[in-house]
Structure 1
C-alpha cells in the first residue's frame, strides 16, 4: 500500500556530508571503548582513554540531499585535490573493496540477529543477505567452461553467443557484453537461459564497470585526470555525472574519498542507470542507458522490462510488500528524496525512529519514487530502502516498498539519479 508518511522525511543527510557522518559515528565508538576500559582498567586508565577520545557525539540532524542534476557548491564542503609531493606518484588504487563501502564509514553496520535460511528466487539463485549481488557461481571463462554450448537458442542468437566468446578471448569485453545483452533481452531467449546470461554479463561488468580499469570501447566509462581545486563532488559536477560522487571512490577503491591528488587518474562512469524489479523473482536488475520518455515507456518489445538502448549491469535480491502491496508501475526517482541515515515514522502505529536508532526498520538509505506515467502517478509514498531484517529479502514482508540488503542499497543509492533514473516494477 502507498505510504503517505514516507513522502516527507523531516530531516535529511546529504551524501556529501559523509565526513561529518563518519566523525559522529566514530565518536560514539570511542565513547563505548572508554566505558569498556573503565571496567577493565579503572582509575588512571579511564583518564588516559578520555584524554585521547574524539569530540563528543554530534547532532543527528539530517540535511537535504543534493540533486546531482542541480548540485550545490560541492567544493565548499569537500577538500580540494592536493599537489602530489615531490618525487612521488599519485596514490594507487587500494585492493580492499570494503574500505570504499559506505559501511566502512559508519560503525552501525547491522548483522543478522540469528541464522536464517537463505531465501531463493524463482530461478534458483541464492539470495544471501550478506553477500549482496544475486549471483550464480561465476564462470570466469564462459567460453572454456562450455556453458554456452548447452544453451537452447535460435541459430542467430547462438551465433551472438559465439561472437561473445570470441570477443572475450580477444579481450574485447565491451563487445562481448553487447552481444550477450542482445541475447538476454531478446524475447525468443528461453527464461531458463537468462540466469546464465545475467551471470556472464555481471562477471564482465565486474571489470568493465566496477573495477578501476577503463576498458577500450566501453561507452559507460572514461578516465579523468585530477587537476587543482578538484574534489569528487566537483568532478561529478564538472563531468555532468548523474551518479553519486562516492561511486567514484568505490570504483577506484579509494580508502578516503576526501583525499585525491593532482595528476591522479580516476575512472568515472557515465550512466544513467535504471532498475527493473521482478516481483515474481524478487530481483532488481540494474541497466545503463538513456531514460525513456513517459509516453513510450511500456511499449518496448524487449524482454526483462528493458527499454531500447539499455544494457544489463547486475542484479540484487529484494524484499517486497506483504499482501501484494508493491504495485506494478513505472516510477522515476523523486527529486531531493535520496536520504542517508533517515528518520522514519511508522504510518500504522505512529512510532517514530530517530536517524541513529538501530531499530529503524528502513535501514541506512531511502530513495523516494514518483509515478512516471499517467497510470502510475496514483501510487504515492513508495521508495527503495535498506532493512534491519535481512531475512525479509526474497519475501513479501514490507509495507509496499522495495527492500535491499545493507550493502546492496548503498550501491543502488550511488547509481540511481533523481529525475533521471527509471524504476519499473514488473510481474
Structure 2
C-alpha cells in the first residue's frame, strides 16, 4: 500500500515538472502583422496598456449612440467579389437564327419566311457559326444541360403570359378615358372641346401597350436564341410560341418571330429527332395504326416523320419518332391563315381561301369526320364527283359540323374561294395527316 502511494506521488511530480518545462520552452504566439509593424516603427518591445496612441479603438462603447443596426444601403459588399475580380454582367453570345446555314455546304442563305410543309423535312438543318472568341476575356465554364429527355408533350412548360402586361396597359387606357368622360359629365361641359393633352392621352397609352409587346418579344427572342445555341430547341419553341398571337406587333416584329418559329417547329415536331418523347420501340404484331392510336395522331403523320412506306408491316424492335396529340387548329379569317398547335407549341401555318358555300362562322368546332374524297354539290344541287377540276374539295374534306368544313383545292399551289375554308392542294395532304377526328378547330 505504501508503494502505491509513493508511485502516485512520483507520477504527479513528473507531470508538474513536464508542464513547467513545456511552458518555459514554447515560444509565444506571433502578433498580428499590422500590430507587429506598428511596434517595430514605434520602437516598443511589448503591447501598451492603451491603444489610443495607435489610433485603434478598443471597442468599448461610450454611449448607446455607438450601436447601429443598419448598414449603408448603396455601399457594395466586397465579399461578393470573386477570385477573378468584381462581379460583372454576363453577356451571352450574340447569335440569332439568322446566322444559321440552310445546308452543310457553307451556304449563307437565311431562313425564309415561307409556310411550312412536310416536303421541307428533306432540307438538312444548318450549322451555326459562333463569333471569334476574345483570347483576353475571362473564361466562363458552361456545364452541359443533362435534362434533354421530355417524357410528355403536356403543357408543363410555363412562362409569364405576354398578353397580361398588354391587357393591364389597355385597362389603364380605358380607365383614363372613362375618368376624363366622367369628370366632363359631372361639370356639365359636354360641348366644350377637349384639350390636346386629353386627346393625346389615349393614343399615347396605346403606344405604351405596343412598346410593352415589343419589349416582351425582344426578351423572348434573346432567350430563345440562347436556348437554341445550347441545343435546347424544344424550350426555344415553347418560349416563342407564347408570343405568336400577341397583338400590336409590327410586320417587322412578326417576321422576326416567324423566321424562328417555322424552322423550330420543323426540327422539334416534324424531324426524326426525338425532341418531344422517348422513342417508341415497335412491338411484335404492332402496326403503325396501333401506335398512332396510342398517341392520338393520324398514322400518316408518323409515316411521314419516320419514312415508313408500309404502315401495316413495321419491323419489330424499330425505334420510331412519336408525337403525342391531338393537334389543334386556329383559322384567322381576316388574315386568311390556318395555324396548327401541338398543345402550346406552334406547329406550322398555311394560307387558306374563304368561300361562301357555306360562309364560315366564328366559333370553336370539333372535327367530326375526315375523307380524302368527297362529292361536291353546287348551288343548283348538281353533284360534282371527286377528282373533277370543278370540285373545290380537292383531295381532302374535314367535317367540322354545322355545315362548316376544311377542304383542299383543285389547284396544287393555291387555295380556292369556292366551298368553305380551302387549303392549297399540296398543303391539304399535310393538314389531313396532322389533324385527327376529335381535334379542336377555332375560327375567329
Map 1:137-286 onto structure 2 (within 5 A).
154-187=214-247, 189-190=249-250, 192-215=252-275, 218=276, 221-237=277-293, 239=294, 241-286=295-340
- Candidates 371, 376, 400, aligned match of 1:369: 400
Distance of 2:404 and 2:265 partners within structure 1: 29
Alignment-derived partner of residue 298 in structure 1: none
In 1: Cα distance, 2:398 partner to 2:115 partner = 22
Which residue in 1 is equivalent to 2:380?
Answer: 349
Measure, in 1, the Cα distance between the counterparts of 2:125 and 2:429: 26
Correspondence for 2:410 among 366, 388, 397: 388
Query: What residue in structure 2 maps to residue 338 of structure 1?
Result: 370
- Compared CA separation, residues 381 and 286, structure 1 to 2 (3 A): same
Q: Is the 8 A contact 1:165 1:176 kept in 2?
A: yes
Q: Is the Cα–Cα contact under 8 Å of residues 392 and 418 in structure 2 kept in the other structure?
A: no
> For residues 270 and 127 of structure 2, what CA distance do their matches in structure 1 show?
18
Count of aligned positions: 252
Residues 230 and 381 (structure 1), Cα distance of their counterparts in 2 relative to 1, 3 Å cut: same
Q: CA deviation at 1:359?
A: 4.6
Shift of 1:274: 1.0
Which residue of structure 2 lines up, in the alignment, with residue 5 of structure 1? none
Specify the SS of the correspondent of 1:209.
helix
Aligned to 2:442: 424
**Structure 1 residue 197: deviation in Å?**
1.3
Match of 2:354 in 1: 320
Q: Verify the 8 A CA contact 1:167 1:175 in the aligned structure 2.
A: yes
Instruction: Could you tell me which runs of 5 or more consecutive residues in structure 2 were left unpaired when the two chains were aligned.
Output: 1-111, 132-209
For residue 160 of structure 1, report the CA deviation from its aligned partner. Answer: 2.1
List alignment gaps of at least 5 residues for structure 1: 1-123, 146-150, 290-309, 371-379
Higher relative contact order (CA 8 A, sep 6+): 1
The DSSP-based 3-state class of the residue aligned with 1:368 is strand
**Alpha-carbon distance in structure 2 between the residues aligned to 1:392 and 1:266:** 33
CA distance in 1, matches of 2:391, 2:307: 29
Say if 1:330 and 1:422, in contact at 8 Å, map to a contact too.
yes
Counterparts in 2 of 1:140 and 1:179: CA distance versus 1, 3 Å: farther
Deviation readout 1:312-334 (Å, 9 max, x if unpaired): 11101111115993322322112
Asked if the contact 2:331–2:442 (Cα under 8 Å) also holds between the matched residues in 1, the reply is: yes
Root mean square deviation, CA, Å: 3.4
1:121-169 Cα distance to aligned partner (Å, 9 max, x none): xxx97779xx7899xxx99689979xxxxx9754444222111111101
C-alpha separation in 2, matches of 1:203 and 1:186: 20
Structure having the larger proportion of residues in helix: 2
**Residues 143, 385 of structure 1: alpha-carbon distance in 2 compared, 3 angstrom cutoff:** farther
Which residue of the partner structure matches residue 94 of structure 1?
none
CA 320–125 in structure 1, closer or farther in 2 if over 3 Å, else same:
farther
